[in-house]
Structure 1
Amino acid sequence: MVTESFLANGLYYRTNGIDKEKLTLIFIHGLSGSSSAWEKYEQAFKVKCNTVCFDLRGHGKSKKWPDYRDYELEDQADDILLLSKTLGLKNFVVVAHSFGVLIALHLLRHHKEMISSAIFLTPVFTVKNVKWAKIAILPLIFYSKITSALPFKNKTGIQLDYSKFKHYGFWHFKRMASDIWNTTPRIYLYCLRQMYNFSGESVLKDIKTPILIIHGTKDTVVSLIYSKEAQKKLPNSTLIKLKNANHLLILNNLRQVISSIESFLNLNLKK
């Protein structure tokens, strides 16, 4: 039975219940998305695992905060710590997509004892090193400051039905517009700016936790090259390359991703 609730700070989350004898998976969605992207994963793992999904602050049903500083990665990571404390979790597995990987890396840097293993799906490690991001930084700051001068609307968003966007590419206008409008351009730009401030690559060599990286060969947002380079720095990692998969492989390559996660979890549970 799935239970929905909110933390004291307005963070929306849901869980299938916490059985202390089972492994717990905490799913972290990407920028401008929401936890509804994980619904098929919740169904796939609900028998063997505790599943915990939540909307990042400012996303989906979670409370929207007005200021740029409200979206620092440290605060995003603290939300997960508060969530784990509320649910009585001492350790868990992180499953993170894209932007969510940066938050997972922050947790691995400062609270590695809580994370038994981590799964990175089409990960971003250091945004400012990505080619398109180098070009976008100045316009990003400019438009972010413009939106911050506009009246703030704290109305929460909704859970989008991502089945409507299955097999779409990341850059599909309708999908992007739906996501950004639900999150609001203000918060989308705030989070994107915060991504530039974090260098995940400097953390990698110190992470001893088992890591699974799944990346598509046709990812035009973050090239597979970055995951190949990251794997060399991560001492206990595995990289799976999905042929012809794009940045939205969590939606478009569902069976392959779930199967890879199951194999990884089974392998590490035996150790």
Structure 2
Amino acid sequence: MTTTTTRRRVGIAGALVGAASAGVAAAALAKRYAVGRIRLRHDAEASEPFGELRGRERTLVTSDGKALHVEIDGPEERRRPAGERGSDAAGDPDQGDEEPLTVVFCHGYCLSLESWHYQRKDLRENYRMVLWDQRSHGRSQRVSAEESTIDRLGDDLAEVIERFVPGPCVLVGHSMGGMTIMALADRHPELFGDRIRAVALIATSAGKLAELTLGLPAMVSKVVHKVAPATVSMLGKGGALVDRTRNAGSDIAFLITRYMGFGDSKNVSPTVVDFAESMIRATPTEVVADFYPALMNHDKLSALHVLDDVPTAIMVGERDWLTPPEHSRAISSALPKAQLTEVPDTSHLIQLERPGVVNDALRDLIKRVEQE
């Protein structure tokens, strides 16, 4: 089976795995030449310190015994005795004052908390932030396929909030991270309104991902989704071998990531593409396969009404193939008070491709909460 055939047969997961596993393609030399030409262009982001921003590192052991990597960034939180939220250690007379607002970031499928680079860089001076690697991603502990569900991610988020968010918060989720927030709304609706004051859903979906066409003709897309589960399962079982191949195919992985993840692929920074591809490649193939069924079965449309109690911003790139604009429009239809923004010439990795647009939207959302 050729690499191209594999990519066509596995839908979203195939796009991601294929993007990092095509090292044996017959056109390797031509691809290397093309990548070389791209890298010779002026790159405004060449000196950007991707992966170098660090917060105060913490570990959360979840209720099912899994270790999650968490970073707290921004201004130092006020020191408080364990278990006390309403007063400070010095017995401040304003002990009834509310804790400062925290912004909690939930990253997407095959990414890590590092994917919020531009957002934490923009907000860290003024806002307390909590960023975390979802289970099996980044520096968090690997879990089994049975433990790789969207509902469990929602429970993980609830525990992150309980442990690291002393007061009100704004939740920000990209792709699978947005689904995590929806699962939280489904399983812990009582948190929305008092603790959770606002939500941003970026390039995500409330369900029906199994119907995505990825730009393919209808009949081809139907075949893709029919064979995808078995193909992804096969890739997962041979994960170690596939991962070795992925490391050899960086040039082709670069080109596919550039094409699939960025709407303005001709002008996107090669450094940004490399950064995104490195996160995808660092995600083991078995993890890609473990979460694939959960993504395809995700359906939280009925839980969206919980978000109607808080200001909600919805953002999507107009050229997003992985969670197309119609999925964000469906969320917006279920949340008539929400603000929907469709960003031109932008694809799935919107927070890396158009950081200024995303940062402005987050600042506006935070200001709405602060003015309440």
Find the aligned partners of 2:177 and 2:350 in 1 and give their Cα distance: 14
Does residue 96 (structure 1) correspond to residue 173 (structure 2)? The answer is yes
Residues 1:187 and 1:138: Cα distance change in structure 2 (over 3 Å): farther
1:117 aligns with 2:198: yes
AA in 1 matched with 2:100: K
Q: TM-score, normalised by structure 2?
A: 0.63
Where does structure 2 lack aligned partners over 5 or more consecutive residues? 1-53, 79-97, 215-220, 242-253, 263-272
Structure 1 unaligned residues grouped into runs of 5+: 154-163
Rate the CA distance shift 1:151–1:185 in 2: closer, same or farther, 3 A.
Answer: closer
Contact 1:22 1:48 in 2 (8 A): no
Partner of 1:131: 213
Tell me the CA shift for residue 90 of structure 1.
4.8
For residue 220 of structure 1, report the CA deviation from its aligned partner: 2.1
Deviations 1:154-199 (A, max 9, x none): xxxxxxxxxx99x934358977764443111111121121112221
2:158 pairs, out of 77, 81, 89, with 81
1:6 correspondence with 2:56 = no
Q: Once superposed, what is the RMSD of the aligned Cα atoms?
A: 2.8
Quote the Cα distance in structure 1 between the aligned partners of 2:165 and 2:134: 20
Task: Pick from 276, 297, 302 the counterpart of residue 197 of structure 1.
Answer: 297
What is the CA distance between 1:44 and its match in structure 2?
1.4
Return the offset for 1:247: 1.0
CA shift for structure 1 position 98: 0.9
CA distance, structure 1, for counterparts of residue 55 and residue 307 of structure 2: 33
Distance 1:168 1:151 in 2: 24
Higher gyration radius (CA): 2
| Cα distance between partner residues in 2 of 1:234 and 1:97 | 18
Aligned counterpart, 2:339: 238
| Counterpart residue identity of residue 78, structure 1 | D
- What amino acid sits opposite 1:253 in the alignment? R
Contact 1:216 1:242 in 2 (8 A): yes
1:89-109 deviation digits (Å, cap 9, x = unpaired):
354211000111111101122
Q: Which residue of 2 aligns with 1:170?
A: 260
Displacement, 1:143?
3.0
Distance in 2 (alpha carbons) for counterparts of 1:257 and 1:240? 10
Q: Deviations over 1:197-223 (max 9, x none)?
A: 221223224532221001111222222
Give deviations 1:33-71, integer Å, cap 9, x for gaps: 011111221121123321011111111111111x21111
Distance 1:93 1:135, change over 3 A: farther
Instruction: Name which of 18, 24, 35 aligns with 2:77.
Output: 18
Q: Which residue of 2 aligns with 1:188?
A: 288
Which residue of 2 is the match for residue 27 of structure 1? Answer: 105
Equivalences, count: 259
Secondary structure of 2:260's counterpart equals coil
The residue number in structure 1 matching 2:369 is: 268
What secondary structure does 1:131 align onto?
A: coil
Contact 1:5–1:14 under 8 Å retained in 2: yes
Q: Where does 1:146-165 land on structure 2 (aligned, <5 Å)?
A: 146-147=234-235, 149=237
Aligned-partner Cα distance in 2 for 1:35–1:113: 26
Q: Is the 8 A contact 2:172 2:199 kept in 1?
A: yes
With a CA cutoff of 8 Å and minimum separation of 6, indicate the structure with the bigger relative contact order: 2
C-alpha displacement of 1:242: 1.2
The residue type equivalent to 2:332 in the other structure is: Q
The separation in 2 between residues aligned to 1:31 and 1:135, in whole angstroms, is: 23
Map 1:21-60 → 2, pairs under 5 A: 21-60=99-138
Inter-partner Cα distance in structure 1 for 2:335 and 2:137: 30
SS of 2:342's equivalent? Answer: strand
Going from structure 1 to structure 2, the CA distance change for 1:182 and 1:129 (only over 3 Å counts) comes to same
